[in-house]
Chains A and B, each alone.
Chain A
């Protein structure tokens, strides 16, 4: 028990990341509102970003700008943050595209509920080609 609590104290960002990931995945898979699915995706991706950035952190490390005076100071790892900037940009693009699709779906079906859309689709487009 002691060991577990110690682990938790040291690694709490990773636990938080995993919990967020699970919340996000759960939201995506179980909620039928399209916006909520999208938010779930965003939560999942934030979780992964958190994991990376936490991995790059060094407790007591300095800001990663080279200090000519003391070149040996321990800096936190800047690479994961840079990578996650890319990731955030990707996440934003995906969100934008998904929102556009939701608008299109709302225009056609008048609702943003996935189950309702499926029902309406079966009724209106049952015989139509998916070609």
Chain B
């Protein structure tokens, strides 16, 4: 029994949320039951992901391979669970749990009625399953399918509030995201045409053998893939859908969207760039410089835009744009320290952003207004919420003892090794700007006099979720051992020429 589970665990981790998502509509009316099922699913999922990670660590990071349906590669779809997959799986499952806790009992007013709550959870679980799939897949077309599942679930989540603003945001997101999907499919098409393989390992071998005969096609492929995944992971200037979408979605959805979904597409891009093209080819094509430049522009532009926003959730959305810039910057620097820093930053940002969005959601729901200038005194009336917000903000700025510092430290070491002085300056500039757009919120909340209103902290499940996320941020900052280890191993795996 245990052996069966162990062998099939890679696919269980993907299928479990999908299966529960399909089953949930049958329980539609009993909301308590639905919420209980969702929460237990996320707990089981997290345990499964943890177990899988431990299996990979025991094997010293050697990936566990799995062939869907027993068909071996290159005829069948292969899953490959290595350190990168484990890191992302733990991230997704680990963040989904507090988000599910936060959403419990809290969703009726957000989605416009108790009848629509189950639909919300179905979409969340579908997104979770798609992200888990993105973590483990090793097949190009499988990537496309999962990207589509994720896109549709994300658009559904954005539109789940029954409001015309949400519908417009969802439509714009859908159109742009599908444009991205078409580009991704085109890129995959080019790769398939010249290599004849869809499996990443085989395609990589073939590509490195023959790419000199088709330089233009390879260029087109990498450009299509970069723009396609760039639209989806909100790389500046392809980010235009993100502020509207993430501020129109209900808060738990914003947390998952900003924290996990955007990262999922980035993980797919990492896999395609590093596992299929390989770091040598990327540097040959000069792609790494483009990535670095785009990352730096994104950090600066995203942070500057965030400064101008008065609506809290829009400010956090632009902050996501800036942090995605850090991810692309680390990708472009292409050495083991910067990649480890990028991956760790992804994980820590997922926890941080979820904490920020959930706290923001609690504040907006309680106070009834969403502008920062009207949030005076919230810190004293909702101490736990604001404390979680403060911990997450301080970590995002990159103060030592919090998780953001470690990602920044490794990124700085990486840019030093790559000899890129501008990148170091931009990383620090990004932190200063991050403080500039996050600390005024803390200042208004704590140091301005509160109006005579009776605002209280949200209920127990919500408080637990916020405390869990804040504790996660501090834990990753003080004792990141296993996660940093996973990130470093993943970085080394990515740089190995297959």
Contact = CB atoms under 8 A, between A and B. Distances in A.
Question: Are A and B direct contacts in the complex by CB distance below 8 Å?
Answer: yes
Interface of A: 21, 24-25, 28, 34, 37-38, 41, 44-45, 47-48, 51-52, 55, 79-80, 83, 86-87, 90, 93-94, 97-98, 101-102, 104-105, 108-109, 117-118, 121, 125, 128-131
A90 B148 contact: yes
A98 B182 contact: no
Contacts of B155: 97
21 contacts: A21-B186, A24-B182, A41-B179, A41-B182, A44-B179, A47-B182, A51-B193, A55-B192, A79-B198, A97-B155, A97-B174, A98-B174, A101-B167, A104-B167, A105-B167, A121-B164, A125-B164, A129-B311, A129-B370, A130-B313, A130-B370
Given A90-B145, A101-B171, A105-B167, 17 more contacts: A21-B186, A41-B179, A41-B182, A44-B178, A44-B179, A51-B189, A51-B193, A52-B192, A83-B141, A104-B159, A105-B168, A109-B164, A125-B165, A130-B169, A130-B370, A131-B247, A131-B251
B364 interface: yes
B182 A44 contact: yes
B156 A48 contact: no
B308 interface: no
Interface in B352-387: 361, 364, 369-370
B175 A105 contact: no
Interface in B135-158: 141, 144-145, 148, 152, 155-156
Label chain A's interface by main secondary structure.
Answer: helix
A105 B165 CA distance: 9
Interface in B191-224: 192-193, 198
A100 B231 CA distance: 23
Label chain B's interface by main secondary structure.
Answer: helix
Given A45-B178, A97-B156, A55 B168 contact: no
B364 A131 contact: yes
A65 B369 CA distance: 64
B189 A94 contact: no
A97 B152 contact: yes
Interface size class of B (residues with CB under 8 A): 35 or more
Contacts of A97: 152, 155-156, 174
Contacts of A37: 175
Contacts of A93: 152
B159 A128 contact: no
B244 interface: yes
Contact of A128 (B165, B169, B179, B244): B165
Contact of B174 (A86, A94, A128): A94
Contacts of A94: 148, 152, 174, 178
Interface in B226-275: 244, 247-248, 251
A48 B313 CA distance: 36
Contact of B185 (A87, A102, A105): A87
A52 B164 CA distance: 38
A45 B180 CA distance: 11
B337 interface: no
Contacts of B152: 93-94, 97
A11 to B, nearest CB: 11
B170 interface: yes
B442 to A, nearest CB: 20
Contacts of A130: 165, 169, 244, 247-248, 311, 313-314, 370
What are the 5 tightest A-B residue pairs by CB atom distance, in nearest-first order? A108-B164, A129-B370, A130-B247, A104-B167, A44-B182
A79 B188 CA distance: 14
B373 to A, nearest CB: 13
A98 B175 contact: yes
A108 B189 CA distance: 40
A41 B148 CA distance: 14
A52 B167 CA distance: 33
A125 B144 CA distance: 36
A86 B143 CA distance: 13
* Most chain B CB neighbours (cut-off 10 Å) among A21, A51, A101: A101
Interface in B313-370: 313-314, 361, 364, 369-370
Nearest to B175: A37
Contact of B364 (A117, A118, A129): A129
Contacts of A129: 311, 364, 369-370
Interface in B465-494: none
B168 A121 contact: yes
Contacts of B178: 41, 44-45, 94
Contacts of A38: 175
Contacts of A121: 164-165, 168
Nearest to A37: B175
A102 B171 contact: yes
Contacts of B168: 105, 117-118, 121
Nearest to B156: A97
Contacts of B165: 121, 125, 128, 130
